[in-house]
Amino acid sequence: MGTHLIDSVRVERSGFTRRRALQAVSGSALAAGTLGFRDLMAEQAAALRRQGRAMILLWMQGGPSQFETLDPKPGTDSGGPTEAIRTAVPGIHIADNLPRLAEVMKDVAIIRSMTSREGSHPRASYQMHTGYIPAGSVKHPSLGSTITQQLGDPDSELPSFVSIGSTQGAGFLGTEYDPFSVANPGQLPSNVALTTSRERFGRRRRLLDRLETRFAETGAKPLVESHQAIYGKSTRLVLSPEVRAFDISDEKPSLRSRYGDSRFGRGCLLARRLVEHGVTFVEVRSGNWDTHQDNFERTAEQAAEVDPATATLIADLKDRGLLERTLVVWMGEFGRTPKINPRNGRDHHPRVFSLAMAGGGIRGGQVFGASTATGSNVEHSPVTVQDLFRTICTALHVDPDHENISPLGRPLKVVDGGTVLSDLLS
């Protein structure tokens, strides 16, 4: 269920293509040849349960230093000059760069034992977005795409998957599950504002429809129908009062300043508005965490923008009763080395790193796993990318074992392997 960027009308004369038909139902049910009434009922029940669930991914591009954010090691060689501060939860300390996040710690769960093998930005970003490592034979869909495939509201006038900044796309799931991108949060996205009056736009659309009917009669009917369906959706989008969700100017100045007058702050505020308007998945990106040089100053600068925005987002969602159904995940592609290099920086370190989660199905106020005293390895409870993705899906009531069929007919699960970290779930 759930389409957004395009309608599901296929262009082919023979109707459904093999690939699409297989995508419509889970591969395993097909293989067993049993998709009966009971399954359909179960599907519906699941749909009710999932209703309104959403996820906001706060993506820290470059790989934030866990020592300066969620896993400080004050007083050790690895820890550097960064101090730890108390949080709202006794016993949990985080770096002094995140004072506002500390205040909402009751809603936040930290994982300090993430581990992966991917130490290059593009590969690690790919894995942390798709759950798979890159392979030439198949472009894996990002989590945003697979989640909206299962949770997206097909009747929504807004796109179900919005990305503020660039991100991984839908891969083999096709353009219909690609993210709708917003380059400048706070303003309408590119090409959404009408270039003429609504009246004249309406006249143009009616003229187009009349001319299209003529072309359809010459034998291009399926193509025209699919084109018209997309134009129908696009028109609904640009004329919808819902597009106001993209414009944050009607938010109270006090709230806006709590989020912070920064690109990331506006992005977080926009994310909340979009979720409020029924968008299923929003990614907000913060760049510049790749601190090979001057790690301490630069991480502090980044955090000064990200900390208030993140904490305000969690609090704001909670105030509006949205946090229960909205999962917020704060992460980057890997962590950084315990070793401080001669340029006062830290290099890539996928072996152990941290991330934070809040809301939707997650029990806050806890730390899961730990790194060793020097911060070079996992001390206990290692969490793989698959474990993380499986846990995210479970929290959102998304089926991690749902199989999509790759273009070559190979079934690929949303998450391949991994174990649910049930301690994290509420």
Partner 1 sequence: MNVSVRTVLLIFACAAALASAAAAASPKVSATADRLDELILGRAAADSLPIVDDAIWLRRVCLDLIGRPATPAEITRFGLDPSPDKRRTAVQRLLASDEYGQNWSRYWADTILLRATNMRAGIVRPTFEEWMADSLNRNRSWDEIVTDILTATGSVLEEGATVLFFAHEGKPEEVAAEASRLFTGIQIQCANCHDHPWDRWKREEFHELAAFFPRVSVRQNRESDRRFDYVVSSMNIDRRRRRGISEFLLTRLDRDQDRIISQQEAQRSPLRFLFAREEIRERVDSDGDGRLSFKEIMEARPRDNNRPGRGSTEHYMPDLNNPSSEGTRVDPVFFLSDQSIPPGSDDQTRRQAAARFITDPGNIWFARAIVNRMWAELTGTAFYTPVDDIGPDRPAEHEQALQFLADAFVQSGYDLKWLLEVIASTRIYQRDLQPDAEGFAAMQPTRMRADQLYAVLCQSLGVDGLAMRSLGARRRNGIRDPGRGAVAEAFGFDPSVPRSEVSGSIPQALLMMNSPIIEELIDGRDRTSPLGRIQAAVRTDDDAIAELYLLVLGREPTRQERQICRSYLQESPDRIEGMEDIFWALLNSTEFLVKR
Q: Measured from the CB atom, is 184 or 366 closer to partner 1? A: 184
Q: Measured from the CB atom, is 41 or 183 closer to partner 1? A: 183
What is the distance between the alpha carbons of residues 222 and 58, in angstroms, rounded to a whole number?
A: 40
Question: Mask: binding to partner 1, 189-228, rule CB under 8 A, as x and -?
Answer: -xxxxxxx---x--xx--xx-xxx-xxx-xxxx-xx-xxx
Strands 93-95 and 108-114: unpaired
Cα 163 to Cα 23, 210, 389: the distances in Å are 24, 35, 19
List the one residue from 63, 152, 159, 418 that touches partner 1 (CB under 8 A).
159
Q: Measured from the CB atom, is 57 or 89 closer to partner 1? A: 57
Query: In angstroms, what is the minimal distance from the CB of 349 to partner 1?
Result: 10
List the one residue from 35, 96, 106, 181 that touches partner 1 (CB under 8 A).
181
Q: Which residues pair with 247 in a beta bridge?
A: 186
Helix segments in 161-289, DSSP class H: 198-215, 221-239, 253-259, 263-276
426 binds partner 1 (CB under 8 A): no
Residue span binding partner 1 (CB under 8 A) among the ranges 174-182, 273-281, 353-361, 417-425:
174-182
Please, which of residues 23-82 interact with partner 1 by CB under 8 A? 77-78
Please, which of residues 79-108 interact with partner 1 by CB under 8 A? none
Please give the full DSSP string across 259-313, using - where no structure is assigned. Answer: H-SSHHHHHHHHHHHHHHTT--EEEEEE-----SSSHHHHHHHHHHHHHHHHHHH
Q: Measured from the CB atom, is 152 or 308 closer to partner 1? A: 152
List the one residue from 13, 38, 49, 252 that touches partner 1 (CB under 8 A).
13
237 binds partner 1 (CB under 8 A): yes
List the one residue from 344, 376, 381, 384 that touches partner 1 (CB under 8 A).
376
414 binds partner 1 (CB under 8 A): no
Answer whether 265's CB lies under 8 Å from 309's CB.
yes
Answer whether 307's CB lies under 8 Å from 100's CB.
yes
Q: Which helix H or strand E contains 27, and what residues bound it?
A: helix 27-32
Query: In angstroms, what is the minimal distance from the CB of 280 to partner 1?
Result: 15
Q: Measured from the CB atom, is 366 or 372 closer to partner 1? A: 372
What is the distance between the alpha carbons of residues 31 and 27, in angstroms, rounded to a whole number?
A: 6
Please, which of residues 389-408 interact with partner 1 by CB under 8 A? 407-408
Answer whether 403's CB lies under 8 Å from 416's CB.
no
Please, which of residues 240-299 interact with partner 1 by CB under 8 A? none
Q: Which residues pair with 367 in a beta bridge?
A: 110
Query: In angstroms, what is the minimal distance from the CB of 374 to partner 1?
Result: 6
339 binds partner 1 (CB under 8 A): yes
CA nearest 185: which of 252, 240, 249?
A: 249
3-state secondary structure of 161: strand
Read off φ and ψ for residue 80, nearest 5 degrees.
65, -160
Query: In angstroms, what is the minimal distance from the CB of 402 to partner 1?
Result: 21
List the one residue from 59, 67, 126, 368 that touches partner 1 (CB under 8 A).
126
What is the distance between the alpha carbons of residues 392 and 384, in angstroms, rounded to a whole number?
A: 12
118 binds partner 1 (CB under 8 A): yes
